[in-house]
């Protein structure tokens, strides 16, 4: 296991759920992240799906004590460079390209690349990747599909993301090849819009307490 893999696992194993956030207003990023950290979810993925994403990552990295902020929806080496420059401590991609792999190899920041088929997992294993994002989890076959991969692809660990909620998180977390899950339910848009940070802390605490 490489040092970067160990660094990634240290982040992911610290909590059962990694919040996956779409931040529309960078001003909400710091109180949102503080609410999640207060609830026990210190590793936070801010997706690069909005113009506010980089400013949000930069603010959380600089201002939120205890947070491990990562960048999600990385689609290119250019995205990688911008996210790392903003302060991301880990990188998440829905799939992978040669450009992203090259950027990952040249960086000290660990990557959690997406994979949904045995061939994709095998190709990433050949590149030295041992921990992957299973995406989109529910749509790609769910916990039963991922369980079926555990024996032929032994030694690979996953963070399933996509369609996961409080109701089905345990189905994934009980699997031997799952290290954590990613989910957006801990930060609903309506609570963020209302500035209900206490409500988000309650949801984070509930997620942090999930046992496999």
Omega before 78 within 30 of 0, i.e. cis: no
Catalytic residue among 133, 138, 147, 189: 133
With a cut of 70, list the residues of the chain below it in pLDDT.
none
Angle CA(177)–CA(142)–CA(72) in degrees, nearest 5?
Answer: 75
DSSP state of 161: B
pLDDT (0 to 100) of residue 11: 97
Catalytic residue among 4, 6, 13, 45: 45
pLDDT (0 to 100) of residue 190: 97
Active site residue 133: yes
How far is it, in rounded angstroms, from Cα 62 to Cα 42?
14
pLDDT (0 to 100) of residue 56: 98
pLDDT (0 to 100) of residue 16: 98
Are the beta carbons of 144 and 169 closer than 8 angstroms? no
pLDDT (0 to 100) of residue 211: 87
pLDDT tens-digit map of 188-208: 999 999 999 999 999 999 999
CATH code of 34's domain? 3.20.20.70
Domain membership of residue 14 as a residue range:
3-208
Total domains in the chain come to 1
Active site residue 27: no
pLDDT tens-digit map of 104-131: 999 999 999 999 999 999 999 999 999 9
């Amino acid at each position: 296991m490489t040092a970067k893999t160990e660094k990634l696992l240290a982040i992911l194993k610290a909590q059962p759920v990694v919040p996956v956030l779409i931040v529309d207003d960078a001003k909400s990023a710091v109180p949102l992240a503080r609410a999640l950290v207060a609830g026990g979810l210190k590793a936070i993925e801010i997706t690069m799906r909005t113009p506010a994403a980089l400013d949000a990552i930069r603010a959380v990295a600089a201002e939120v004590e205890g947070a491990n902020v990562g960048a999600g929806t990385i689609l290119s080496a250019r995205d990688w460079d911008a996210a790392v420059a903003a302060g991301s401590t880990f990188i998440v991609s829905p799939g992978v390209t040669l450009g992203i792999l090259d950027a990952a190899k040249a960086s000290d920041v660990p990557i959690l690349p997406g994979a949904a088929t045995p061939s994709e997992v095998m190709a990433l294993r050949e590149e030295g990747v041992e921990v992957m994002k299973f995406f989109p989890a529910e749509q790609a076959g769910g916990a039963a599909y991922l369980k079926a991969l555990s024996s032929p692809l032994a030694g690979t660990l996953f963070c399933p993301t996509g369609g996961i909620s409080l109701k089905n998180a345990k189905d994934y977390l009980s699997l031997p090849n799952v290290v954590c899950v990613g989910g957006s339910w801990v930060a609903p848009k309506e609570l963020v819009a209302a500035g209900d940070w206490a409500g988000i802390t309650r949801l984070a605490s509930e997620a942090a307490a999930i046992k496999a």
